Chains A and B, each alone.
Chain A
Amino acid sequence: MQKTLDEILKGCIANDRKCQEMLYHRFSGTMFGVCLGYTKDRDEAKDVLQEGFIKVFKNIKKYSGEGNLEGWIRKIMVNTSIDFYRQRARKNSHVNFDNVPDVLETEYSILETISANEILGLIQQLPDGAKIIFNLYVVEGYTHDEIARMLDISEGTSKSQFWRAKKLLQQMLNGTYESNKIVA
């Protein structure tokens, strides 16, 4: 028997494992996509997804019911991704934005032919810091000031990394476009 979202939510608050599983299956696809957009690879995205959903279930009582449940879960996933990024950045990663070559202007009409999965492939190629800043700014709608505070960096760093990420993405898109043209 299919349960409504409200019933699932009530079950999750009561710590009902079945309802938790239903909630997970309802949102896991979208959330895994979000996680992939903020992590370096599938393995890390999986870890973020797991930890994110554990946070969701532990804190579901705090969900006031106001606003979109999906938006609330998404926010937890993004924050968990940022936590992962900070931990990783502190320990062993090195983000190098130097030597990003200038790119040609992209023909946006052609971009429409690129699928979401192809976009994902491109996102995965972006350097970690740049990818997070770019997605936080473009997709989540945070300002550079907010991003700077979230990542403990200066606003200037956020802006410059965003700019460089955008250039790099455009460069990759041009490459994809060129290769698509060749295939065609």
Chain B
Amino acid sequence: MEKDFLNWYKRKFNQLNVPPPDDAWENIANDLDMDEVWQGVDAELNKRDRRKTAAKLTAALALFVSLGGGLFLLTNKNVEKNKNQTVSQNTVAGNLKEKKTKQEDVLSDVETTTTSALVAVSKSTGKNNLSVPETKPDTKSEQKGENLIAENLSTNNRNSKSLIYKHNVLTSLNGADISDNALNSATGKNMLMTAIAPLFAQLTINDNGITDSLIYQKINDSVHTKNTGANTFEATDAHSFIIGVAFASANTWLLNNDTYNGLKAGTLNRTLFSYGKSYAVLVGYNLSNKYCLQTEWVINNTHNQQYVDFKQGHQVSRDLKVDYTQLNVLMKKKNEMYHFGNKLKTSFNFLAGLNYSYVKSFTEQTDESVNSIKNNYKNNQYNLILGLEYQVFIRQSWIISSGIRTNIGLQNIYKGTSTVPSAFNKTYDSSIGLNIGIGYKINRNK
């Protein structure tokens, strides 16, 4: 019985032949004419857009190359400077060591002479408590030596010259800095000149603007650098924090029935490429040399979707615009590399994580008006993030990064209304874009 009814209905329905209104064909013909004109205009506009896009890409490429080149040169220059400094410090250290050895030889000779002199003085003064100070006399022994000199100057002028020499040579060794002048003078032939030579030596070095302690510090630094892998970067990033800022520009997609139809051939809807921008602050923690956990607070992220809606014989331009504030939690898998003889450190990272988005505003702009449609969409949204990132390390602590990221919408963001259920306008928000950032690394042990 039911089948009969349905067949009857189908038969009757297929018999329907209703003349359409007279103006229907005129409208169709007008639309087709209009469409041909529009196609011409659109082709011209697209041509201009392509030129604009090419100009933007060229500018971006030029900026990237010049910025990257500048950074590389800067990095290279710093590394070169550090290298020269290290070599120079090693040379100074080597010279000092050599000089010290020579001076110890001289000292040995002089010590024999001085001991004899002291014995002679001792004998002449009847004092038996005179002794030759050890290689590095302390303040007490220095004072003792000075007393002896003062005492002996009055009793035995000739022998006191040896003591003056001895005292000054030991003092200069204690300062660990001897110039060629001092070394050449310390021959034992001219005791007075030799005795004051270290003072000149000290002055000479001070004229160069380098103090003894500084030199030693530099030497120690160069040794440290060598011990950490013969490059200017620290051997490990593990357990260090990173703080920074990031900016992104992305091609955004708000896909629903209308905008998805606009991507298909054979429909009059037309979905356009739309772009959004975002800026963020970030904090990262290097769990190890391979992994980094990063949290980002995207202060503002704008997603757009422009499309031309062909409805009831009319084209209406629409622009869906949503502003988010977001929280990203990402895990980075790092692959660190050294280039140009360890002068440049970079890292190629794969990253994955989750994004939580809070809708700040959601509007639909048409040719005529802007309406808030925030209430029709879910305030809290969750997305999956996948991306690739390339980092360049500047000196020890600065990091410049750039990369590509995709944000994949996991849920239907359309909440629905009392008249239109959620399922009738399923909407998904996704994006793919480029981002750049700058960060500063803070070592916990510093």
Contact = CB atoms under 8 A, between A and B. Distances in A.
Nearest to B30: A50
Interface in A81-123: 83-84, 86-87, 89-94, 105-106, 108, 111-112, 114, 116-117, 119-120, 123
B227 interface: no
B4 A29 contact: no
Contacts of B35: 54, 58
Contacts of A90: 257, 420, 424-425
A55 interface: yes
A34 B423 CA distance: 26
A32 to B, nearest CB: 4
Contacts of A116: 12-13, 15-17
Interface string B1-35: 10011101110111111111100110111011001
B16 A120 contact: yes
B419 A94 contact: yes
Classify chain A: how many residues form its interface, as a range.
Answer: 35 or more
Contacts, number: 134
A53 B32 CA distance: 10
A89 B17 contact: no
Interface stretch (A1-9, A16-24, A176-184): A16-24
A84 B312 CA distance: 8
B38 to A, nearest CB: 12
A139 B10 contact: yes
Q: Is the interface of A mostly helix, strand, loop or mixed?
A: helix
A73 interface: no
B266 A50 contact: no
Contacts of B311: 87
A141 B29 CA distance: 32
A169 to B, nearest CB: 7
A51 B16 contact: no
B313 A47 contact: yes
A62 B28 CA distance: 20
A129 B399 CA distance: 58
A137 B8 CA distance: 14
Nearest to A148: B423
Contact of A50 (B5, B13, B19, B31): B31
A92 B419 contact: yes
B5 A106 contact: yes
Contacts of A44: 312
Contacts of B27: 50
Given A93-B419, A105-B1, A139-B10, A28 B19 contact: yes
B442 interface: no
Contacts of B32: 17, 20, 54, 57
A171 interface: no
Given A32-B18, A152-B423, A86 B257 contact: yes
A138 B9 contact: yes
Contacts of B261: 83
A20 B25 CA distance: 10
Interface of A: 17, 20-21, 24-25, 28-34, 36-37, 42, 44, 46-47, 49-51, 53-55, 57-59, 62, 83-84, 86-87, 89-94, 105-106, 108, 111-112, 114, 116-117, 119-120, 123, 135, 138-139, 151-154, 166, 169-170
Given A58-B266, A59-B265, A154-B423, 8 more contacts: A55-B266, A86-B257, A89-B420, A116-B12, A116-B13, A139-B10, A152-B424, A153-B423
14 contacts: A28-B19, A28-B25, A29-B20, A34-B16, A50-B24, A51-B268, A53-B28, A54-B31, A87-B311, A89-B424, A93-B419, A106-B5, A111-B5, A138-B6
